[in-house]
Amino acid sequence: MGNTTAFEGDVTTVGGVLTDRQPLDFHALGLAGCIDRLTGPIRRRGTAVCWDTPHWGIEIPSNCASLLYQSAREALSNAYKYSEASHLTVQLAAVDHGIRLVVADDGTGFDSRRATRGRHHGYGLRLMAVAVREAGGCVDVSSSPGHGTKVTVTLPLD
């Protein structure tokens, strides 16, 4: 999707959380376009963003698109705030009867077991996981100190 977005100024950070000033328009921009807008602050910071979207032609219902967008915003906000990554990859891919979002970075990483159990850590990831599970999907957060982070969200489409 290139190194800059057409609506780069529409996304800002508030307390390290990526915030889109414009209403989402999945119909006009598509899910990938809406998520790509969120990468503007990350790119401006100097992180290279690579896109992989082998999901062309798959119709994604608006409720699934909204949940994937919110999940991407959480994962990208965390990458922005904590990762110090030089490279980040976003993938949207069709999988058996579903769609998968992967946000992976080569940043500092963290102990993912602690983030899901810690008292003062990982609230955003935990809330994301609850919402995805309630929609019938699953979340996997894979990270370790010094080895980057990979957040995978899979949702059913049927």
For 17-36, the pLDDT digits (tens) are 777 766 567 777 888 888 99
Provide the residue type at 73 as one letter: R
Interatomic CA distance for residues 17 and 150, integer angstroms? 18
pTM of the model: 0.84
More confident residue, 153 or 59: 153
Mean pLDDT computed over every residue of the chain: 85
Q: Which of 30-39, 64-73, 79-88 has the lowest mean pLDDT?
A: 30-39
Residue-range domains of the chain with CATH: 11-156 (3.30.565.10)
Interatomic CA distance for residues 8 and 110, integer angstroms? 29
Phi-psi region of 76 (alpha: psi -120 to 50; beta: other; left: phi over 0): alpha
Interatomic CA distance for residues 27 and 15, integer angstroms? 29
> pLDDT per residue over 81-96, tens digit each?
999 999 999 999 999 8
More confident residue, 138 or 11: 138
Give the length of the chain.
158
The whole-number pLDDT of residue 5 equals: 41
